[in-house]
A and B are shown apart, each in its own frame.
Chain A
């Protein structure tokens, strides 16, 4: 039986190739993901190792002055220094930056970084900056920066210390050089004397000063390790490698999560591949009916026949998985080589590490998926009756109709899941329980309903295809032929369309979710900010001349359309405070003119967030004097109410401006202009910049990147599905050889045959894509409603451009998928297929 199986495989090699490609792509995906995970772990490990400098031993555990002294006293210990890290807030002029600093050990071996310009800080109040920080603060070696931090002060009244804000003036003596990227995760670190780092990151009198002790040894390191372990009973004394492994195991949790998420996408790709395999084997079994019948006639048992199909699937799965493994490894290696060649400062390994997991998992998974996918066709093979060997050729098999049970089950899952999904969205809108709960419920409901849809696909996809085909019939006989051919085998068409449906639904869902997220976030941010950019002194008084200078400076910035001085006063409405601001011409500043419609003499426009104050009894100044104005509700963003100049003068005449409101050009790059504004503000003013526009831009960038990554991962599944379309078409062409020959004989030109196959391909992919888009929209809206419903800023978007791209790609791919099958179809001369079997 095995010899026969192999012989049959050899004959059908061409037909198995497409299926093999599908599995190979899936396993290549898995391999590349696992290898990337390995690289991440390895890189993290290498980075941590670098952070330990050239220490021989590392003690993990609390380090304070006593333990430090004890460690230094141990026999065999040369030097021992705590690994001090901390963060401080540096300012230079009106620029500021947060920087992580590392204590510069006295022992050069224990230092993980060096200095490229200048020297290592030796005395207190000296600092070497990371190059990126120096650039951001626009300082060079020799300049001064201020460091802000909190220091603990013993509280005379109680045990807990009090914290007070302090500021140090530091001299920049050098720029840090980190050639191997040991501290790349922080974007570079600064170097400062250990006593400064301790002062800035005062842990409080009771806590240890560091959690890691770096030790260099003389003589036998093993002996020193033992002695040190005895001296420091509360710490783990490890070699450098062991310590790195221990530290990285905590970080690798996050890395593992990432790898798991990406493997989820690989699972989707493999699911689609499984559909393609199942399809292929179904067709193969159908085509081999005569051989199978002959075998059963001559004496093969049902079990042998089934096993033969499964063995064939196993061989195919193993072979393709091997190809996928090699391809995935090669891809990962190439990517690594490219990254190493580029400017990335990270300790990337030069080769991928092939762990046992990275080799075995793809092989096993790929083979398993192929075998599982072949089980149903294998069972179908056993149902071939021996009698069919004796029938004349070309008994057309009537396609079987799927049962009522399947319909009922599929409806139950689909409708039930759909209702639960709507319920989750509504529940999330009420705000009860918490968004994560509703999201989990929504995810479960959505998956259930999608599974129901897929199960029922074989029932309704052919119907949709038939309707779509009918609409094409007007285009001529070729289209009619294509439409008729597409619905001939409903199961096969459904399977192929469904494979594409999965990928497209997910892509559409992600796009819709992202679009809705973008709009909702932008709405929410619009509510928090009244104008594009707000420059404020946060309550501190501002010198009039300084404000004028700031106004002039900001007006000069590229991308600023309008800037006006802002006056502010705080009023009381009963117990509540209400800030009231005024600018000379609010209409020129706000984006939405409707928000300031109510602005008039004697009127104060309330922001949306304070609309409850509209019914307040009476406004008074901070001093208690009553304020007589009309309060008007509006959609104004932010938390301050708006008054025009006249009204403001009546309330608080003589108040000088303490800030600026800025409106940007419509096409301005919000983040860049905000930075420019910040840089242009004169350094002596206590003015800070807040920008809703820049925040929105930041969020949108994050959303766009995430969407691109997700779509990229899903693209693999889509590609596999398209391979499946080619597969289906070529198998159909083989099945229809006799009919194609007949058509050619009675007058179908080669061009018409090619066109008919192209239409068929486009029909299959088009239907799958359109249905996928509709489903994806629905799921995307439900998901967005679940996540954002509570925020009250839900706006259901249709990402027209993205969806159009998806549809276009699918249609084009359907046409492209027909090219190879059409070539083989047209190459067959009519005569070859007319012969009686």
Chain B
């Protein structure tokens, strides 16, 4: 595990408010957090805790109400839409719960999509490495409808990594997969950190998935509620339990494996 001094992405006093007045919902409330480069970090919390919102803001997919997000030196909150889009294209990668592949393109075309949009040429060596690592060699000419869920997610991961992004954001990547495919996907993500030197930030509600990470950030009610280094399924579960007792009788249900 390689760490550098500067965090890959960080948030300061990050706040996101929906609605106003009596119907106001503070999805995020003054969040301060750093994510180390070259590390696999998981964000965990009960549903409604704001973890997806945090991910969206960190990834530049949504605008914060107040506070700032820094990707390396760049302050995301000062960018306009075009600049933000280009930043996502060139410096970030995404893996979604519902795969989100384009159905009319082949697997290979889907993988190369971000480069296509940038008008950049593909690094063939890197492409071959990814394909080999993710075991997609036989499937490159197939369309998403001809691939299993696990295969689709692997294509999505390849797509996320093709532009050699600074950070890969994953939103519940195993949510739609059976346990075996899920385990495969998680180990690929870990391998991309360990062997390919990537940074991955993953949101999950599954303690077993979180255990693949190097660090788990716990979030509840829009605020950072805890931090677990070198997690195991048990320590994560314990951490979540602790969260539950903090919430009180109206707290949301704990989601377990």
Contacts and interface: CB of A to CB of B under 8 A. Distances in A.
B119 A477 contact: yes
A768 to B, nearest CB: 21
A751 B100 contact: no
A421 B102 CA distance: 46
Nearest to A485: B104
A394 B114 contact: no
Nearest to A829: B62
A592 interface: no
A425 to B, nearest CB: 43
A752 B62 CA distance: 19
Contact of B104 (A488, A746, A751): A488
Contacts of B105: 484
B56 interface: yes
Interface stretch (A165-173, A333-341, A737-745): A737-745
Contacts, number: 78
A747 B59 CA distance: 12
Interface string A751-782: 11000000000000000000000000000000
Interface stretch (B68-76, B82-90, B200-208, B238-246): B82-90
Interface string A795-837: 0000000000000000000000000000000000111001010
Given A488-B104, A739-B102, A836-B98, A745 B82 contact: no
A745 B88 contact: yes
Given A739-B100, A829-B62, A834-B61, A746 B116 contact: no
B100 to A, nearest CB: 4
A417 B221 CA distance: 72
Given A747-B118, A750-B85, A487 B61 contact: no
Given A484-B105, A745-B61, A751-B82, A831 B56 contact: yes
A742 B102 contact: yes
A448 B5 CA distance: 77
A477 B117 contact: yes
A153 interface: no
Given A748-B117, A830-B61, A836 B175 contact: yes
Interface residues of B, number: 33
Contacts of A398: 145
A480 interface: yes
Contacts of A394: 98
B145 A396 contact: yes
Contact of A831 (B62, B97, B114): B62
A700 B14 CA distance: 76
Nearest to B84: A749
A480 B109 CA distance: 11
Given A392-B176, A831-B61, A749 B85 contact: yes
B85 A396 contact: no
A744 B117 CA distance: 10
A476 interface: yes
Nearest to A395: B145
B40 interface: no
Nearest to A750: B81
B85 A748 contact: yes
Contact of A746 (B56, B117, B171): B117
Contacts of B127: none
Query: A738, A742, A745, A834: which has the most chain B beta carbons within 10 Å?
Result: A745
A166 to B, nearest CB: 86
Contacts of A743: 102, 113, 117
A744 B175 contact: no
Given A831-B56, A836-B175, A745 B62 contact: no
Contacts of A749: 81-82, 85-86
B103 interface: yes
Contacts of B118: 747
A747 B100 contact: no
B113 A746 contact: yes
Interface in B102-137: 102-105, 113-114, 116-119
Contact of A750 (B82, B102, B113, B119): B82
A746 B89 contact: yes
Contacts of A748: 85, 89, 117
A400 to B, nearest CB: 14
Nearest to A747: B89
Contacts of A830: 61-62
Contacts of B104: 484-485, 487-488
B88 A746 contact: yes
Given A742-B102, A746-B88, A829-B62, A477 B56 contact: no
B94 interface: yes
Given A398-B145, A477-B119, A738 B62 contact: no
B159 interface: yes
Contacts of A393: 98
Interface string B49-70: 0000000100101100000000
A396 B103 CA distance: 8
A747 B56 contact: no
B96 interface: yes
A747 B85 contact: yes
A749 B176 CA distance: 28
Contacts of A834: 61, 96, 100, 171
A747 B84 CA distance: 9
A739 B159 CA distance: 14
A742 B86 CA distance: 14
B119 to A, nearest CB: 7
Query: A747, A749, A830, A834: which has the most chain B beta carbons within 10 Å?
Result: A747
A554 to B, nearest CB: 71
B90 A747 contact: yes
Contacts of A476: 119
Query: A746, A750, A751: which has the most chain B beta carbons within 10 Å?
Result: A746
B1 to A, nearest CB: 27
Nearest to A751: B82
Given A746-B88, A748-B117, A488 B103 contact: yes
Contacts of A738: 98, 100
A745 B100 CA distance: 11
A746 B94 contact: yes
B82 to A, nearest CB: 5
Contact of B117 (A484, A739, A747): A747
B86 A747 contact: yes
Nearest to A832: B62
A488 B116 CA distance: 20
A440 B60 CA distance: 67
Contacts of B171: 834
A718 B166 CA distance: 51
Contacts of A488: 103-104
Contacts of B93: 746
A651 to B, nearest CB: 84
Contacts of B114: 746-747
A218 to B, nearest CB: 88
Contacts of B56: 831
B91 to A, nearest CB: 10
A493 to B, nearest CB: 12
A302 to B, nearest CB: 28
Nearest to B90: A747
Interface in A713-752: 738-739, 742-752
A749 B103 CA distance: 20
A746 to B, nearest CB: 5
Contacts of B116: 477, 480
30 contacts: A393-B98, A394-B98, A396-B145, A477-B116, A484-B102, A484-B105, A487-B104, A739-B100, A739-B102, A742-B96, A742-B100, A742-B102, A744-B85, A745-B59, A745-B61, A746-B94, A746-B114, A746-B117, A747-B86, A749-B82, A749-B86, A750-B85, A751-B82, A752-B117, A829-B61, A829-B62, A830-B61, A831-B61, A834-B61, A834-B171
Given A487-B104, A488-B103, A739-B102, 11 more contacts: A396-B144, A485-B104, A742-B102, A743-B113, A746-B114, A746-B159, A747-B85, A749-B82, A750-B82, A752-B117, A834-B61
Q: Which 3 A-B pairs rank lowest in CB-CB distance, beginning with the nearest?
A: A747-B89, A477-B116, A742-B100
